[in-house]
Amino acid sequence: MSLPPNVHKQSDEIDLVELIQKLWMKKWLIIGVTLGATLVAAAYAFLSPPVYRAQASVMPPTLSDIAGFNLARNKDIGLEPFKIDDVYRVFTRNLQSEQSKRRFYNEVYLPSLTDNQKKASRDALYKGFLGRLTVTGPTKSQSDRFVLNIEGGDPSEAAQWAEIYIKDVEQRSIEEMLGNAQSEIQVRGRNLTQQIETLRESAKIRREDRLAQLKEALKVAQAVGLENPPMIAGQMNDQLSAIMEGNLTYMRGAKALKAEINALSQRASDDPFVPELRTLQEQHSLYSSLRIQPDRVAVYRLDGAIETPDEPIKPKKMLILVLGLVIGFILGVFAALIQIMLVKSRSIGKAAGSAV
- Tens of pLDDT, residue by residue over 136-180, are 988 777 888 999 999 998 999 999 999 999 999 999 999 999 888
At residue 292, the pLDDT reads 73
| Local structure of 44: helix, strand or coil | helix
The amino acid that residue 308 corresponds to is T
The predicted structure's pLDDT at residue 275: 86
CATH of the domain at 166: 3.30.1890.10
Q: Does the residue 160 lie in any domain?
A: yes
Are 186 and 295 within one domain? Answer: yes
Residues 255 and 190 occupy one common structural domain? no
249 in a structural domain = yes
Same domain flag for 138 and 240 = no
Q: Do 134 and 263 share a domain, yes or no?
A: no
Is 8 contained in some domain?
no
Half-sphere exposure of residue 272: CA atoms within 13 angstroms, side-chain side: 4
In this prediction, residue 247 carries a pLDDT of 65
Considering the domain architecture, whether residues 173 and 86 belong to the same structural domain is answered as yes
Same domain, 182 and 291: yes
Q: What pLDDT score does 356 carry?
A: 57
- Structure confidence at residue 90 as a pLDDT band (50, 70, 90): very high
Query: Do both 113 and 221 map to the same domain?
Result: no
Do 69 and 192 sit in the same domain of this protein? yes
Strand arrangement of the beta sheet that strand 301-302 belongs to = 133-136, 146-152, 52-59, 301-302
Q: For residue 347, name the pLDDT band (cuts at 50, 70, 90).
A: confident
The domain containing residue 82 runs over which residues? 49-202+274-314
| pTM attached to this predicted model | 0.67
Q: What is the percent of the chain where pLDDT is above 70? A: 88
- Domain membership of residue 171 (yes or no) is yes
Give the residue among 30, 54, 44, 34 at the shortest CA–CA distance from 315.
44
Q: Chain centroid to CA 249: how far?
A: 68
Q: Are residues 59 and 148 in the same domain?
A: yes
144 and 98 in one domain?
yes
Q: Does 58 share its domain with 83?
A: yes
Of the pLDDT bands very low, low, confident and very high (cuts 50, 70, 90), residue 91 is: very high
* Top mean-pLDDT range of 24-28, 48-52, 90-94, 180-184: 90-94
- Do 172 and 109 belong together in one domain? yes
The pLDDT of residue 107 is above 70: yes
Asked whether the predicted pLDDT for residue 251 surpasses 90, the reply is no
Q: What pLDDT digit, counting tens, does each position of 211-250 carry?
A: 998 888 888 888 888 888 776 544 545 444 545 566 677 7
In a domain, 12, yes or no: no
7 in a domain, yes or no? no
Q: What average pLDDT does the chain have?
A: 84
Residue 323 located in a structural domain: yes
Q: How many domains does the chain have?
A: 3
Let me know if residue 65 belongs to a domain. Answer: yes
Query: Which of 13-22, 184-193, 257-266, 279-288 has the lowest average pLDDT?
Result: 13-22
Closest CA to 264 of 209, 198, 197, 201: 209
Average pLDDT over residues 1-22: 59
